[in-house]
């Protein structure tokens, strides 16, 4: 059975559902999330998307991305996908949203209302090879250098988030995740 995505308006209000492939073929606005996991040294965990993915294969991106299922809360979906893709669990904190529309590979269009979550973990992932081909921890300055040298090696949404937020803003996200972690899981 094909995965269903939650279609939304520009304010993230649910409008219905559509099959995942149809949503990406027609560029239908849908709810999504992006996860950024940092270690205590401030490095960000990147993944290289598996080569079997139906778009953006082999490109480097943030720790994890996905879509909530109909009836599933976005935070719960983010935690589920972090476990499914990277074999990780940690507290997550929502830090931002981003609306974008961009053509990706295979004539598909990503049109997403993206919820951005951050977390802290010092454990290496146990990546699902069907989702992530490789992974690595990098500093934000290393990431910016690599994007400047070879932007086509990174997903457009990851580049867009970095461009929109900037390294200083993304560093602040790490601090927010630390604050959440120190305050405890129920704060």
CATH classification at residue 14: 3.90.79.10
Q: How many CB atoms lie within 10 A of CB 106?
A: 12
Instruction: Provide the mean pLDDT of the chain.
Output: 92
Q: How many domains does the chain have?
A: 1
pLDDT digits (tens, 9 = 90+) for 126-140: 999 999 999 999 999
Band of residue 186 on the pLDDT scale cut at 50, 70, 90 = very low
Distance CA 128, CA 132 (A): 6
84 is in an annotated binding site: no
Q: Which of the pair, 112 or 187, is modelled with greater confidence? A: 112
| Cα–Cα distance for residue pair 153/131, rounded to 1 Å | 17
Q: Has 102 been labeled as part of a binding site?
A: no
Whether the pLDDT of residue 56 is over 90: the answer is: no
Strands (E), the chain: 4-8, 14-19, 30-38, 44-49, 60-61, 64-66, 92-103, 109-120, 132-138
Per the CB < 8 A criterion, the answer to whether 144 and 150 are in contact is no
Question: Active-site positions?
Answer: 65, 112
- 110 in a labelled binding site: yes
**CB burial string 114-142: b at 16+ within 10 A, e below:** bbbbbbbbeeebebeeebbbebebeebee
Quote the domain boundaries for residue 106: 4-183
State how far Cα 40 lies from the chain centre: 20
Angle between helices 140-149 and 156-183 in degrees, nearest 10: 180
CA distance 124 to 121: 8
Please indicate if the annotation marks 112 as binding a ligand: yes
């Amino acid at each position: 059975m094909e995965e269903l995505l939650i279609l939304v308006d520009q304010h993230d209000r649910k409008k219905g559902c559509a099959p995942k492939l149809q949503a990406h073929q027609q560029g239908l606005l849908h709810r999504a999330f992006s996860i950024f996991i940092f270690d205590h040294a401030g490095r960000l965990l990147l993944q290289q998307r598996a080569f079997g993915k139906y778009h953006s294969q082999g490109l480097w991106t943030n720790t994890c991305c996905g879509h909530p299922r109909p009836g599933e809360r976005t935070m719960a979906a983010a935690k589920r996908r972090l476990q499914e893709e990277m074999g990780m669990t940690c507290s997550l904190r929502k830090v931002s949203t981003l609306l974008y529309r961009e053509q990706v590979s295979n004539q598909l269009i990503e049109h997403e209302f993206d919820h951005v979550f951050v977390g802290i973990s010092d454990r290496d992932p146990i990546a699902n090879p069907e989702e992530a081909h490789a992974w690595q921890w990098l500093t934000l300055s290393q990431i910016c250098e690599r994007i400047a040298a070879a932007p086509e090696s990174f997903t457009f949404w990851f580049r867009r988030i970095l461009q929109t937020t900037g390294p200083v803003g993304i560093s602040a996200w790490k601090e927010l995740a630390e604050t959440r972690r120190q305050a405890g899981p129920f704060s």
